[in-house]
Amino acid sequence: MKAAASIALLLALIGYWLWTPDRDRAALEARYADGPGDFIEVAGIRLHVRDSGPRAGPAVILLHGFGASLHTWEGWAGALAADMRVIRLDLPGSGLTGPDPKGDYTDARALEILVALMDRLGVARASLVGNSIGGRIAWTFAATHPARVDKLVLVAPDGFASAGFEYGRAPEVPAVFSLMRYALPRAVMRMNLAPAYADPTRLSDAVVDRYYDLIRLPGVRDAMLERMRQTVLRPPEPLLRLIEAPVLLLWGEKDAMIPAANAQDYVKVLKKSAVVVLPGLAHVPQEEDAARSLVPVRAFLRD
């Protein structure tokens, strides 16, 4: 009996350590939003948006990757805002935007929201910068709404088939992924973020805390799982061939998530493209070394 009680106590303690409840939305907004002005109602969703820089300047819209937020661009936004209008947002199911009331996390819904946001802000044309999944949304937008795009910066963009992501079918989301809805220790969060950095020591505690806090906004973990289930890739070449805007492909040399060699898949079909590979950086160069990674981006956007 004593042994059974000890095992039960041990299991209870492990469950208590693993249990990761949601955090209060108001507390997260107080910590990670600049104020009520950060939130805009568009296309039936309350978006978390930052809009900085001169309104009369050329506009640039920054789109983050899976599981990230507009804060991933913090190191770029201030410098770009010196002479550009910089708009960044938390995509539906991410950051302080939280879940989409429609439960729709397809690329088509992202494009609908992006058009509505530009219309709401009075932005007729903008350059788009997208990282990873944000890159896929950016180049899809440039292909389908060419009149609204000046230039395109793709930071390790997603879009071509890879292991587990075939064309024409939604990926199988392992059942174990659903456990993150209930158990997500901070140590596991750091372990999942580290591969996006070439040098994990550059992943600061503050950045881990931010990711860890925002993923616990009510509904975000469920939304992330739904985005994975709703992602159906199509062969990208037909759309990429439609892009008229000049494109900068920016990659970290040590990107283990979407290898830098993938840049050539884009170069083969894009009409106007240039490639910059950053030594010693990985999947999120805007976080790992904001100053160095911004240099080619700023030059490209100002050219």
Say if residues 242 and 149 touch (Cβ distance below 8 Å).
no
Residue-by-residue pLDDT tens, the chain, 303 positions: 444 333 333 333 344 447 899 999 999 999 999 999 999 999 999 999 999 999 999 999 999 999 999 999 999 999 999 999 999 999 999 999 999 999 999 999 999 999 999 999 999 999 999 999 999 999 999 999 999 999 999 999 999 998 878 999 988 888 888 898 999 999 999 999 999 999 999 999 999 999 999 999 999 999 999 999 999 999 999 999 999 999 999 999 999 999 999 999 999 999 999 999 999 999 999 999 999 999 999 999 998
pLDDT at res. 11: 32
pLDDT at res. 110: 98
Domain holding 251, by residue range, is: 35-302
Residue 18 lies in a domain: no
Residue 15 lies in a domain: no
Residue 22 lies in a domain: no
> Can you say whether residue 158 is alpha, beta or left, with left for phi > 0 and alpha for psi between -120 and 50 degrees?
beta
Q: What CATH code is carried by the domain that includes residue 269?
A: 3.40.50.1820
Residue 155 lies in a domain: yes
Residue 257 lies in a domain: yes
pLDDT at res. 301: 98
Residue 250 lies in a domain: yes
User: Taking the complete model, does pTM exceed 0.75, yes or no?
Assistant: yes
Residue 29 lies in a domain: no
Q: Angle, nearest 10°, between helix axes 205-214 and 186-193?
A: 110
pLDDT at res. 175: 82
Residue 12 lies in a domain: no
Question: What is the total count of domains within the chain?
Answer: 1
Residue 70, C-beta contacts closer than 8 angstroms, at least 6 positions apart: 48, 49, 50, 62, 64, 88, 89, 90, 95
